[in-house]
Amino acid sequence: MAVKKRPCRVCRKWFVPDVHEGLRQQFCTSAKCQKERHRRGCAAWRKRNPDWDRADRLRRRMHVEDTPVARETIAKDPMRGVRWDKVRAAVGVGVAVVVEETCGMVSDFSRQLRKQKNRPKTRGKMG
Ligand SMILES: [Zn+2]
């Protein structure tokens, strides 16, 4: 099926869409129009994800600084990888304590499972 020409949504000039894009391509290939397409795409994305920047800043703040020592510590206890003071400041003490305690229980449970798996078997295998 031949791809029909269509007007660019920015410059209004007619162009032939790429065969792979077909009906989806709404902008011509000029640098100016592609930049505008990108700008509009970003604006639409920000409208769909209005809290993303705020969430990302918190996400970055709540992690301890990535250093070799920190990595070693976190490998032993993942709870130490979180800046709980920053979490408390962001969500309040109540929510932070619930999250911290729940994560702590899951972390302890996981550690117990690992210990059980790594425990050498002292008795012979039965059945
Ligand atoms: Zn154009």
Is 127 inside a domain boundary?
A: no
Domain that holds residue 88: 52-116
- Per-residue pLDDT tens over the stretch 35-81: 999 999 999 999 999 999 999 999 999 999 999 999 999 988 889 99
* 63, 84: one domain: yes
- Cα-to-centroid distance, 6 and ligand 1 (Å): 10
**Overall number of domains in the chain:** 2
* 105, 73: one domain: yes
Please report which confidence band the pLDDT of residue 1 belongs to, taking 50, 70 and 90 as the band edges: low
Sign of the CA dihedral with 28 first, then 29, 30, and 34 last: positive
* 37, 70: one domain: no
Q: What is the number of alpha carbons within 13 Å of residue 27 lying toward its C-beta?
A: 14
From the CB of residue 27, how many other CB atoms can be counted at a distance below 10 Å? Answer: 22
Is 99 inside a domain boundary?
A: yes
* 92, 108: one domain: yes
Do residues 17 and 23 lie in contact, with contact meaning Cβ atoms separated by under 8 Å? yes
* 43, 63: one domain: no
- Cα-to-centroid distance, 48 and ligand 1 (Å): 25
- Cα-to-centroid distance, 33 and ligand 1 (Å): 5
Percent of the chain past pLDDT 90, that is, above it, reads 76
CA angle 32, 36, 38 (to 5 degrees): 120
The predicted pLDDT at position 124 comes to: 56
* 65, 81: one domain: yes
Cα radius of gyration (the chain): 27
* 92, 62: one domain: yes
**pTM exceeds cut of 0.85:** no
* 41, 72: one domain: no
Residue type, position 50, single letter: P
Average pLDDT, the chain: 91
Asked if pLDDT for residue 126 goes beyond 80, the answer is: no
* 38, 86: one domain: no
